[in-house]
Amino acid sequence: MTPGMISHGSEDSRCRVLVVDDDPASRFLQTEILAPPRFEVTEAVDGHSALELLRVKSFDVVLLDKKMPGIDGNEVCRRLRNELDLPLLPVIMVTGEASTEHLAVSFKAGASDYLGKPYSPMELVARVDAAVLRKRMMDLYEGPDAMLFTLARILEARGITTADLGRRQAGLARTFGEALGLEEEEVDILQRVAVVQDIGLLSLPDRLIENHNDLTPEELAQFRSHPRLGAELCSGLNSLKPAAPVVLRQHERWDGSGYPDGLSGNAIPHLAQVFALVRRYEVLTAGRDGEKPQTHDDALGIIEKEAFRGWYDPGLATKFMTIAHARPELLTQAEIHQEAPRGLPDFPRVSSQDDWRKAIFEDD
């Protein structure tokens, strides 16, 4: 562990607290009060150690002593807000200077709350609890999974796709990706693409979406711009940036007959080629666009003919067909898999602060 930092509690502790104080007695008191397993406390002995730790680890709340040698609490707070770009992290300034003037300086530096010395154990726990609750509630709306959840619901509201279809494709993506031996990070990208693959359609008029099989050449060109629009939207979100190349190239074909740019062969990213097969199998077996659902064998027959026509990487298509024929249960079970994949979580339906607290703090 890095010098100047001490950690207590398990990695699975609910509330991750960073205690920053140059006084060992003060750190000991706060650590004793915020005991595991409810709290996971990490100590930093000065401001520099705290900033170093905040660069590499996530916390729910920071207990920050105001008067420290080197850089004081106010300066630490300014730097974590501005240099580390942590605008939503709760920071409780611990201080014996509770005058209006001193507190105004700390709040201007970015403190969220303050705790006056001396304090009672009950007050410390209450302040930390309130800060962590606010942080967890914001995380539900600001986190990458919540972003995916929101985008999926928007797509569903526009009639572009449904949550069930997104889950089914995400399950298929994981199944095929794991069978191919992809890294977990690559599988996660495929699952996220399954949720937001059609996000670019949000920018198109309803008439193009509803009648996309009966468009004029001009309308077809506009419709086929949606992967580019979707990739641009994904590129603007840190959690979706890795998925952008797959969203952009998911409709390209091995022989160059796809869109939006008519790329061919290995110019098409590998994950986009993988997802194209997953998407096609799901579209056929689910009966999207008002078509009759195909059986597993019939869907594979259609994909085999399309591979012969040059739509897919021959080697990858052969692997897909081999896996599908040898272990059909892998795909059919993935189809009906009901557990929400990473990126499309089931958020609790809550209506009161007590419900929020239970949903955020209590184990299932």
Tell whether 355 is covered by a domain: no
Q: Which residue stretches of 143-162 are H helix?
A: 144-157
Residue at which a domain ends, from 142, 162, 191:
142
Tell whether 354 is covered by a domain: no
Tell whether 264 is covered by a domain: yes
The pLDDT of residue 347: 34
Lowest-pLDDT range, 44-48, 200-204, 338-342?
A: 338-342
Q: Is the pLDDT of residue 79 over 90?
A: yes
pLDDT digits 0-9 by tens, 118-167: 999 999 999 898 888 877 766 655 555 566 666 666 666 666 655 566 77
CATH of the domain at 216: 1.10.3210.10
The pLDDT of residue 352: 37
Same domain, 114 and 244: no
CATH of the domain at 68: 3.40.50.2300
Domain that holds residue 276: 144-335
Q: How far apart are CA 34 and CA 73, in angstroms?
A: 20
pLDDT digits 0-9 by tens, 294-318: 999 999 999 999 999 999 999 999 9
Q: For a pLDDT cut of 70, what percent of the chain falls above it?
A: 77
Q: How confident is the model at residue 88 (pLDDT cuts 50, 70, 90)?
A: confident
Q: How far apart are CA 162 and CA 210, in angstroms?
A: 15
User: Coil, helix or strand for 17?
Assistant: strand
Tell whether 347 is covered by a domain: no
Q: How far apart are CA 329 and CA 308, in angstroms?
A: 25
pTM score, whole prediction: 0.55
Residue at which a domain ends, from 142, 173, 204:
142
The pLDDT of residue 345: 40
Same domain, 103 and 134: yes
- What order of strands is seen across the sheet that includes strand 91-95? 5-7, 39-44, 15-20, 61-65, 91-95, 113-116
95 secondary structure, DSSP code: E
Lowest-pLDDT range, 134-138, 184-188, 236-240, 246-250?
A: 134-138
The pLDDT of residue 310: 96
Q: How confident is the model at residue 197 (pLDDT cuts 50, 70, 90)?
A: confident
Q: Which residue has the higher pLDDT, 123 or 333?
A: 123
Q: Are 85 and 113 in contact (CB under 8 A)?
A: no
Same domain, 60 and 152: no
Q: How confident is the model at residue 335 (pLDDT cuts 50, 70, 90)?
A: very low
Same domain, 73 and 151: no
Q: Which residue has the higher pLDDT, 220 or 159?
A: 220
Place of tokens 């994949």: 341
The pLDDT of residue 23: 94
Arithmetic mean of pLDDT over the chain: 81
> Could you give the C-alpha distances from 339 to 16, 166, 168, 172, in angstroms and in order?
28, 12, 10, 12
Q: How far apart are CA 68 and CA 47, in angstroms?
A: 8
